[in-house]
Structure 1
Amino acid sequence: MTIHLEQYQSGQYQKGYEYCYFMPSSINDEWVWQAPQVNRLLEKAAVRLGELNSFARLVPNINLFIQLHVTKEAVVSSRIEGTQTNMREAVLPESEILPEHRNDWREVQNYKQALNQAINDLKTLPLSSRLLKQTHAILLQSVRGEHKMPGEFRTSQNWIGGHSLADAAFIPPHHQHVNDLMGDLEHFLHNQDIHVPALIRIAIAHYQFETIHPFLDGNGRIGRLLIPLFLVSEGILDKPLLYLSSYFEKNKGLYYDNLMVVREKNDMLQWLKYFLVGIELTASLAVSTLSNIITLKAKLEQNLQVNFGRRAASAQLLLNALFIQPATSVDAVQKICDTSYKTANELVAQMCKHGILQEITGQTRNRVFIFAEYLAIFSD
C-alpha cells in the first residue's frame, strides 16, 4: 500500500468510556507526494545537515564540545514542559542550586543522563521501543513523574491539555493500542523496503510518537529526543549536535498547532514543511555555534601561551576540561591538573584575572567559577 500525502487520512476518533480518543492511522508504508515544496525544503535541510556533519568532522577534539550542546537541549526541552532551570544553573553542582529550584535542576540532569546513555546504547541496540523505555526510565528517576511508570508504556488513558478527560485539548489512543502503534512506528523507522527519505521519516515518526503519547509522563521530551537519536543511528550525523527543541520552543503554540492540524485536518504537508524548515535553520545555527566555539578556543589558547608562562600547560588542561564542564572549583582544578591546592588556587586566580573564569558565589570558601564566555555562546 502507498500513502499519498495529499490524500492522507490521519486517523479517526473512537468511543471510550464517556470520552472519545484519537486512533491514528498506521504509518509503515511507502509515502509519495506531488507537492514540489516538500522536495525543495527536503533538499535545503539535507544540505544544511551535511554541512553540519562535515564541519563537525573538521573540528579538532569535537567531543570536548558535545556536552554543552546536550546541556542546552536538556534545558530547553525541559523548559517546554515547565521547568525553570537556565544554562548557568544547569552546569552548577546541586549544592549551589536554591532548594526551591532543585527539582527542576534534577529534571535537567536526568535529561542529560538519559540522552548521553541513549546515544551510547545506539552502539549495541537499534532505535527501538526497548531503547526508548530505557531512556524514559532514566528521565523520570527520582523526579516529578517518578510514580508514572518510568520505563514502561502506559496501561491507562492519558490526555493533553485541560485538567481531565472532560476538558482535554487532545486524547491519545486507548492504552490497549499503544504497543501495536509503537510497533508500527518502529518498523517504519527501519523499513528498508520503502523509499522514504530519512528526514521525512523522522518528521512523520515524531508526529506519530506525540500522537500515540505512549508514556504517562515525559512524552514531549522523549519525542524530541527521538530526532537526534534517529539522525545518529542512521549515520546522518556522526555526533549528536542537532536538536529541534529551541526551534519548537520559540513559538510553542505554532509547534502544537502544526501537530493538531495533522490530526484535525489530515494536513501532514504543513507539518512536514514546518519540520524541514526547522532542520535547516537549526543545522545552520549549530554550524554557527561550532564556529564561535572554535574561534573562542583559538583566542584563549593564544592568551594562555602569551600570558601564562610556566603555567601554560596546566592552563591548557584546565581549559579543555572547562569546554566539557564549564563550572569548576579550586578542588576540581587541583584534580584536573594533578597539582597542589596552592598551585591550583593561583592558576584559578590567573584565569579570573584574564577573564576566562568568573567567580559567582561571592564566598571565600567553596567558591565556584564559571567559564562565562563559553556559556554565553549557548545562551538564548
Structure 2
Amino acid sequence: MVKIADIQLPDFPLLLAPMEDVSDPPFRAVCKVNGADLMYTEFISSEGLIRDAIKSRQKLDIFDSERPVGIQIFGGDEEAMALSAKIVDTVNPDLLDINFGCPVKKVVTKGAGAAVLKDIDLMVRLTKAVVNSTSLPVTVKTRLGWDDASINIGDVAERLQDVGIKALAIHGRTRCQLYKGVANWEPIARVKNNPRIQIPIFGNGDIDTPEKALEYKSRYGVDGIMIGRAAIGYPWIFNEIKHFIKTGEHLQPPGIQQRVDVIRQHLHRSVEWKGTKAGINEMRRHYTNYLRGLPNIKEFRLKLVTISEAEEIDAVLDEIVKRYDGFAFETRKLDMASLTYSCEN
C-alpha cells in the first residue's frame, strides 16, 4: 500500500491530475467510478480565496463519493498562502496540494506556479507557511525546473520533504518546455531512488496508454502515476491501466452505449452542480473527446453543442446510440497535442 500521511492508497495508485477548467466535480465523478484512486480540484488562487472570489470558492466543492480528494492552491505570497490553507481546512478535504508547476504566462507573471522554480528558497518558505497553517497532509505538484540549465528537482524534493510535505508529484518537463517535446522521467527516478527521500513520489507526463504506464512503472520505480490529458474524454484509462498491469491484457475499448452512459452521467452531474445553463455550456467542450473515433459524427456533435435543454441532449444521445449500435471502436491512438487546456498543474 502507498500512504500519504494516514491516507491509504492501493499499490501503484493512479492519480487524476488537477486540470484547470477540466477537473471539476462532474469530471472527477466519472473518473472516480472508472478507477482513479486520488483526485484533485482545479487549482485555486490563494488571492482569490482571500478576496472571496465566487469562482475560487466554488472550486472548493468536494463530495464524499470522490474521497480521497485534495484541494490544490497556488500563489507567491507567504501570508496569502497561509491564510488560504486555513480556508481550505474548513471544507475538510483529505489533503492540500500546492501548485508549483503551472507554466502558463498569466500564472507565472504573478510569481506563482512554475515561476517559483526560479527561487527555491521562496518555494520552501511558501511550503512551510502552508504546512504550519493546516492540519491537513500537504503535498506538492511541480516540474523538473525552470529550464534545461536549471533542473533542480533533486534539491527541491529534499528541501520540501524537510519542511513537512507528505508526497511529491513531478511533471517530467521544465517550465520552458510547456507541453512540448517528450517528458523526461530520468530525474524523477533519481528523486525516487534518493535514499533521503521517504515520501511517495508520483510521476506525471505523457502517460497515454496502458503499455506506457507499465513500462514507466518498471523502468522508473515511482510509487504511482498521475494522469492528466489522457483522461479527458476517456476516464476509462484508469481501469484499462490497472487491468493491463494486473493481467498483461487489454480491456475491450468502451462501446457506444458505455460512452453515452458516461456522457449522461457527466452531463447531469454538471447540470446539478452548476445549474442548467452553465452545466450544459461547460459540457460542450467534452463531447468531441468522448465521441472521438466515430465516423460522420459532425452532425450529432453540432446538435450537442447548440441545444440548451438537457432533455433534448438526452434525445440526441439516444440517436447516437441507435446510429452507432454495434460500432467497433479501435484501441485509442491518442494525439496528446490535441488535448489542450489552460493549465495542467
Q: TM-score, normalised by structure 2?
A: 0.31
**Higher relative contact order structure (alpha carbons within 8 Å, sequence separation ≥ 6):** 1
Structure with the larger helix share: 1
**Structure (1/2) with the larger strand percentage:** 2
Instruction: Output the TM-score relative to the length of structure 1.
Output: 0.29
